Amino acid sequence: MVMALADSVPGVSGGTLAFILGFYDKFIDSLHEFFGSQGEKRKEAFKYLFKFGLG
């Protein structure tokens, strides 16, 4: 949700804000695990990405 709000402000990037707030690495790791893993890691990544998507 924070990233979406940041995108509505001219000159502010949602990705930059995610990096500053510290959840950019978790997001990238979850994408990697979702597309490159199987089993429990993939389920955990899906849960995180789903929550992220709801925001």
Q: Give me the mean pLDDT over the 27-35 stretch.
A: 92
Confidence at residue 34, expressed as pLDDT on a 0 to 100 scale = 92
Confidence at residue 38, expressed as pLDDT on a 0 to 100 scale = 84
Q: Report how far apart, in Å, the C-alpha atoms of 31 and of each of 4, 9, 12, 14, 41 are.
A: 19, 26, 23, 17, 11
CA distance 9 to 40: 38
Q: Give me the mean pLDDT over the 43-55 stretch.
A: 88
Confidence at residue 47, expressed as pLDDT on a 0 to 100 scale = 93
Query: What band does 43 get if pLDDT is binned at 50, 70 and 90?
Result: very high
Packed helices 14-21 and 24-36: angle between N→C axes, nearest 10 degrees: 100
**What stretches of 1-55 show up as alpha helix (H) in DSSP?**
2-7, 14-21, 24-36, 40-54
